[in-house]
Amino acid sequence: MTKRETQRDRRSRAAVRNLICAVMLLLSFCCSFCGCTAKKEQEETFFAMDTYMSLRAQTDDGELLGQIRDGIVQLEHEISVTEKTSAVWKLNHEGEAQMSPAALELLETALETCGDTDGALDITVYPVLRAWGFTTDTYRVPDAEEIGALLGSVGWNVVRIEGDKVTVPEGTMIDLGSVAKGYAADLAAERLKQAGVENAILDLGGSIVTLGSRPDGNPWRVAVRAPEGDGLLGVLSSRDEAVVTSGGYERYFEDDEGNIWWHILDPGTGYPAHSGLVSVTVVGPQGVRCDALSTALFVMGEEKACAYWRAERDFGMILVTEDGRLLVTQDLEGRFEKDPSCAFELEVIAP
């Protein structure tokens, strides 16, 4: 069996483990739903955006979650980097494209975070990501000359938006994958609210959004996965917010010399980001911002991530470092419960 096949199998097993973890966590809440007779529990599980997704809500509308699923799939078609009918594919290959309101809003939000984080998040790093094979599973280690040439076309601030028309210079390509799941979760939560749903939990491949609380009035309990193995860092009590985790363990490959290369790239170097962090969880009111920041803070590293949090203070975060420390911002301390199996040393990040 080749290493490529091994990695594909590993990704498949990881996706299944994530789905099982989400389902097991959600099953623990069934008693809460069963105690309420006003509305029925509905669930929709499907595959989209290269991951398993699970929507769970208390509603009498048996078609609502299916409609939300279809909306997520439609968004995926609009922003796909590989589907030739998508606006993003056209932009990347023709230099200009018209985008739907949803795709345009997602792009504008992503660019805003690129600027706010001084390029720690950069949606134009896609050509470099593709050179590494992370978009196709044809993994390889590009040489320094190739990476240097590709970096010449990387720069989020060259993307131009006029109305619904988007343009980029020749050679520049974008990828909205670092923000898409969080944005889709926000859209799903808003659709549920419009339908009068008060209690729901959405897991879009690790981008989790809680709506209200459990029907019994207690907060949702969101499991935060450990960066290695199948264990947990702990459980976070959550109401009306997003919880998004990014880590190098999500997608990586091993070369012939045993070196590990993961998919979160440093836009400044074109190489996998080795900032001293192995996992970042961001908690806040918007899934799209949490999704974007989970990548950006990973690239920044502990010191810059903490400084950014202290400056912004509109989100919470959980960091795991390479030297075995678990850092939790003070605003999350009271509702994050470390798992007994977690061996990391817990520290609180003060304002």
pTM of the model as a whole: 0.87
Q: Can you say whether residue 260 is alpha, beta or left, with left for phi > 0 and alpha for psi between -120 and 50 degrees?
A: beta
Please tell me the distance from the alpha carbon of residue 324 to that of residue 344, in angstroms, as a whole number. Answer: 5
Predicted pLDDT of residue 34: 43
SS3 111: helix
- CA distances (Å), origin 170, targets 53, 122, 127: 35, 17, 12
Predicted pLDDT of residue 19: 47
Q: Which pLDDT band holds residue 131 (cuts at 50, 70, 90)?
A: very high
Per the model's pLDDT, the better-predicted residue between 34 and 232 turns out to be 232
End-to-end CA distance of the chain: 50
Predicted pLDDT of residue 40: 85
Predicted pLDDT of residue 121: 97
Q: Which pLDDT band holds residue 6 (cuts at 50, 70, 90)?
A: very low
Find the length of the chain. Answer: 351
pLDDT digits (tens, 9 = 90+) for 32-45: 444 444 578 899 99
Q: Is the confidence at residue 8, as pLDDT, over 50? A: no
